[in-house]
Amino acid sequence: MGSQVLQLALDDPELEVVAAIDASVSEPQDSIMDVPLVRGVNQLDGRVDVLIDFSHPAALPGLLSYATQQHAALVLGTTGYNAADRRSIEDAADLTAIFMSPNMSYGVAVLTSLTRQAAKALGPAFDVEISETHHRRKVDAPSGTALLLAQAVADVSPEPMPYVLDRPARHEARTPNEIGVTARRGGTVAGEHTVGFYGDDEVIELSHSALSRRIMAAGALRAAKYIATKQQGLFDMEMLLAEQSLVTHIGVERDVAVLSLSSVSAEPDSIAGIFGALGNINVDMISATTPSGGRLDLAFSVPQTDLAAAVSALPDVAPRVTQHLSKLTVEGEGMALTPGVSVRVFRCLAACGVTPCQVTTSETKITMAVEAGHVTRLVAAIRDEFGLSS
């Protein structure tokens, strides 16, 4: 891994390699690929922005000491850390930026995200089994990546989901909520992971195969560039993926209307009665002010074609109506993990001189109603802000 990282780093014009570290170095003048070799981090000479480590947990104390004292960022691709190691890493992250992931592959980060989405959508009706295969020299089993994928499933489950690592030793049937994890070792396999969702009469599998360690080296360098901009904190591939896919989709729905209701009763039965009166009309973008004196303001959107029916259904509240708007949706999974997306979207609105008529948000979505004539310009501004292709 060290050689792979070094080779890719030397080929990258955005990076300057200061030194390589190898505890077996015998002479101070040793070098590799024309890069100085040193025995440890304390022999580094000059400014270091980021350290990348793929060695052994035993190297961790020295790395953390150097990184915190010199305020150098640290990328940890080593696996096999114990609970005490992880506490040390978390403590050091209060002083400098640390990126840690059991698998530096960007593809595995996507697999983890897809696994979480699938587990959330399929729910407890599907049994989950994870299998992984690695080369004969890998020591830890199951792999850190397999445990990362298992955690992605467990995170979205409303019930505890224990990991079962050694099913043959149990001699009993599978329990409903367990996550089975199987490890295989042999040959020179760089890494294969499959997450299987097994339901009644159907199976869904998500898989990733690493064809070489080069992808992990490329991911580590990607992480190094990402973390070089951070001051302190603990980061991982999920965060990197989130920040680089903050906005993945911009949707436009033409011809909607917004109904604004002022000072309606805040009683739950009253609110339910308003929406009940709308019957089968598709009501969207619902927002309300904080109740005051038992009253609140309420707003929502309906398709323009249903506007007359909606107004007729609410004869007692006299809604204020804004017609022929466009509904603009900005969404991305990364929004759930990264602050500041709303600020950037509203700066785009300000730059375009647009005042939204209605706005609602969720963890992964910002939806607004705007005047139809502004949509094309606003979409272009948001695409440019978040680096989306046309």
**What is the tens place of the pLDDT at every residue in 294-327?**
999 999 999 999 999 999 999 888 899 999 999 9
**What is the tens place of the pLDDT at every residue in 345-356?**
999 999 999 999
**What is the tens place of the pLDDT at every residue in 247-283?**
889 999 999 999 999 999 999 999 999 999 999 999 9
Does position 241 have pLDDT exceeding 90, yes or no?
no
179-185, strands of its sheet edge to edge: 163-164, 179-185, 127-134, 191-199, 202-210
pLDDT at 169: 80
Q: What are phi and psi of 133, to 5 degrees?
A: -130, 135
47 pLDDT band, cuts 50/70/90, is confident
Q: Return mean pLDDT, the chain.
A: 92
Does position 38 have pLDDT exceeding 80, yes or no?
yes
Identify whether 230 is a catalytic site residue. no
Environment class of 138 (CB within 10 Å of its CB; exposed 0-12, middle 13-18, buried 19+): middle
Does position 329 have pLDDT exceeding 80, yes or no?
yes
Domains of the chain are 2-100+216-243 (3.40.50.720), 106-211 (3.30.360.10), 249-386 (3.30.2130.10)
**What is the tens place of the pLDDT at every residue in 163-203?**
999 888 888 899 889 999 999 999 999 999 999 999 999 99
Which of 56, 120, 134, 225 is the catalytic position?
134
Strands 127-134 and 191-199, how do they pair? antiparallel
Does position 27 have pLDDT exceeding 80, yes or no?
no
Pairwise pLDDT comparison (162 vs 244), residue with the higher score: 162
pLDDT at 351: 96
- Percentage of residues of the chain with pLDDT beyond 90: 75
31-32, strands of its sheet edge to edge: 20-21, 35-38, 31-32
The two structure tokens encoding residue 137: 């020299």
Strands 295-303 and 249-265, how do they pair? antiparallel
Of 260, 356, 354, 270, nearest to 301 (Cα)? 260
The Cα angle at residue 229 between residues 225 and 231, in degrees rounded to 5: 130
Pairwise CA distance, residues 88 & 93, whole Å? 9
Environment class of 108 (CB within 10 Å of its CB; exposed 0-12, middle 13-18, buried 19+): buried
389 pLDDT band, cuts 50/70/90, is confident
Which of 71, 138, 225, 230 is the catalytic position?
138
Does position 365 have pLDDT exceeding 80, yes or no?
yes
Does position 218 have pLDDT exceeding 80, yes or no?
yes
Identify whether 138 is a catalytic site residue. yes
Does position 243 have pLDDT exceeding 80, yes or no?
no
Pairwise CA distance, residues 160 & 96, whole Å? 33
86 pLDDT band, cuts 50/70/90, is very high
